[in-house]
Amino acid sequence: MSPIVTIGIPIYKRLHYLAQGVRAVAAQDYPHIELIVSDNGQNGTKVPEIVDQVWGRPWRFRQNAVTVNVTQHYNQIVREATGDYFVMVDDDDWLSPNFVSDLITRLEGHPDVALAMARQVIVDGERRAIGESVPGVPQLVPGETFVRGLFEYGFSNYTSFLARTKELMACGGYNDFPRGFHVETAMIVKLCLNRSIAFSYRSTFFACRSDTSMSKLMEMHELAEASKLFLEFLESDPWLLSQATTNPAGWHELKPRLVNMGWGGYLQRWGHMHRDKLSYFGWVRAGFALPYRPGYYSALTRDLMDDSKLRIITRAKRWLPGVFRFYRSWKAHGSQTALEATKVQSTETSAMSPVQGHAVGASSTADDSSAKPAVASEIQR
């Protein structure tokens, strides 16, 4: 008997992508699919009306009377699933027609493989491709190896992968992080420790990144809270710790990388996505929202110093243009003077070298080689 694959689609208020996502599920060439569409946005009858227009088979609809957070919604859908395998597909993402049929062959009969992932293409709100995963990813990768280089393969969205439904529930489901930030990463880490991940370049997961994407709508305090909870997850999650005890040496090597990834993601978003969304002092205060980690606070200090230098230069150009022009001219003149002095020194050295060559022999070469770094450093200054 062929296994059943449940595909869950969570919905909030964004309904305009739903029809395309359902069509992609209807187009799957694997016939044994259970579709669950779950409404978390109190949309009345709008969701089933859209699905019924494009889905010609029985399907399951669930609706929350009160909106819950992203993680709770994900877990509700997993608990509703009756399939042997499960795929979560956000409402603005979609799958290639062979997604299920391709990936299920990577899991069937391979209990050592925790989950299977397809090639990934990132699209913008207009459905234009703006990036993709690295071609030539090995078909089978040890879980620890994958986590160790989580972003080296070019994957930037981990929502949609094929896994066994029972294992998703056995590991405790999705961890509760604000706005769902880090939930897929945490799930993958729990599933793949001491096991492998299968990849295929024959099927594709299309992940949308637009202005309405969840990651773009996160507030800074939500991002800080999610990052702190992810760091706590690495220290205290029961399932994770139970898996770590079977390979303590591997976990000891892997855990610092995950910690760095946790605060590194926060630092990157703090520095780029939220710099212009907050007041300057609010932005600086947000930088210190995470608990003390030497690596994080060292990187934060460097970023703040670079930002301060940039702010000073920008204000000087705006409010003291004459002083700024004088400074640039003085700096350029100083560099030119140093360069001319270096040329003179080089000419004098060249004129003396024949005499030194006869008198000293091989030591002349050593003198020349030691002079070159001095010249280079003078030019740099």
Give residue-wise pLDDT tens across range 191-240: 999 999 999 999 999 999 876 666 566 788 888 999 999 999 999 999 99
Last residue of a domain, one of 273, 293, 316: 316
**DSSP H or E segment with residue 174:** none
Residue 187 has pLDDT above 60, yes or no: yes
β-pairing, 85-88 with 94-95? unpaired
The answer on 43 and 134 residing in a single domain is yes
- Rounded to the nearest integer, the mean pLDDT of the chain is 84
- Give the pLDDT score at 374: 37
The answer on 348 and 261 residing in a single domain is no
Domain that holds residue 363: 320-380
The answer on 262 and 245 residing in a single domain is yes
Q: Give the tens place of pLDDT for each residue, 289-326.
A: 888 888 888 999 998 888 888 877 777 777 766 665 66
The answer on 344 and 230 residing in a single domain is no
- Cα separation, 233 vs 190, in Å, equals 10
Q: For residue 115, name the pLDDT band (cuts at 50, 70, 90).
A: very high
- Cα separation, 196 vs 205, in Å, equals 20
The answer on 231 and 209 residing in a single domain is no
Over residues 344-352, the mean pLDDT reads 56
Place of tokens 């773009």: 216
The answer on 20 and 137 residing in a single domain is yes
This model's pTM is above 0.95: no
Which residue did the predictor score with more confidence, 36 or 291? 36
The number of distinct structural domains making up the chain is: 3
Last residue of a domain, one of 188, 217, 246: 217
The answer on 229 and 363 residing in a single domain is no
Q: What is the DSSP string of 192-242?
A: HTTSEEEEEEEEEEEEE--TTSHHHH--HHHHHHHHHHHHHHHHH-HHHHH
- Give the pLDDT score at 328: 67
The answer on 374 and 275 residing in a single domain is no
> Which CATH number belongs to the domain containing residue 76 in this structure?
3.90.550.10
- Give the pLDDT score at 153: 84
Closest C-alpha to 143, from 202, 184, 217, 193: 193
- Cα separation, 65 vs 292, in Å, equals 40
Q: At 285, phi and psi to the nearest 5?
A: -60, -40
- Give the pLDDT score at 347: 59
Q: Are 141 and 199 in contact (CB under 8 A)?
A: yes
- Cα separation, 87 vs 5, in Å, equals 8
Q: Give the tens place of pLDDT for each residue, 52-90.
A: 999 989 999 999 999 999 999 999 999 999 999 999 999
DSSP letter for 292, please: P
Residue 380 has pLDDT above 60, yes or no: no
- Give the pLDDT score at 378: 34
3-state secondary structure of 7: strand
In percent, how much of the chain has pLDDT > 90? 52
Q: What is the 3-state secondary structure (H, E, C) of 98-143?
A: CHHHHHHHHHCCCCCEEEEEEEEEEECCCCCEEEECCCCCCCEEEH
The answer on 332 and 295 residing in a single domain is no
Of 108-112, 293-297, 359-363, the range with the highest mean pLDDT is 108-112
The answer on 311 and 326 residing in a single domain is no
The answer on 109 and 34 residing in a single domain is yes
Last residue of a domain, one of 217, 248, 270: 217
- Whole-angstrom distance between the N-terminal and C-terminal Cα of the chain? 74
Q: Cα–Cα distances in Å, from 251 out to 182, 191, 193, 296, 306? A: 19, 14, 9, 21, 35
Q: Are 79 and 11 in contact (CB under 8 A)?
A: no
Q: At 112, phi and psi to the nearest 5?
A: -80, -10
- Give the pLDDT score at 52: 96
Q: How many CA atoms lie within 13 A of 183 on its CB side?
A: 23
- Give the pLDDT score at 377: 35
- Give the pLDDT score at 358: 41
Q: Burial-class residue 334 by CB neighbours within 10 Å (0-12, 13-18, 19+).
A: exposed
Closest C-alpha to 272, from 262, 283, 263, 282: 283
Over residues 26-54, the mean pLDDT reads 97
- Give the pLDDT score at 3: 97
Angle made by CA atoms 71, 76, 80, in degrees to the nearest 5:
150
Q: What is the 3-state secondary structure (H, E, C) of 299-327?
A: HHHHHHHHHHHHHHHHHHHHHCHHHHHHH
- Give the pLDDT score at 336: 62
Which residue did the predictor score with more confidence, 326 or 369? 326
Q: Give the tens place of pLDDT for each residue, 151-170.
A: 788 888 889 999 999 999 99
Q: For residue 269, name the pLDDT band (cuts at 50, 70, 90).
A: confident
The answer on 335 and 282 residing in a single domain is no
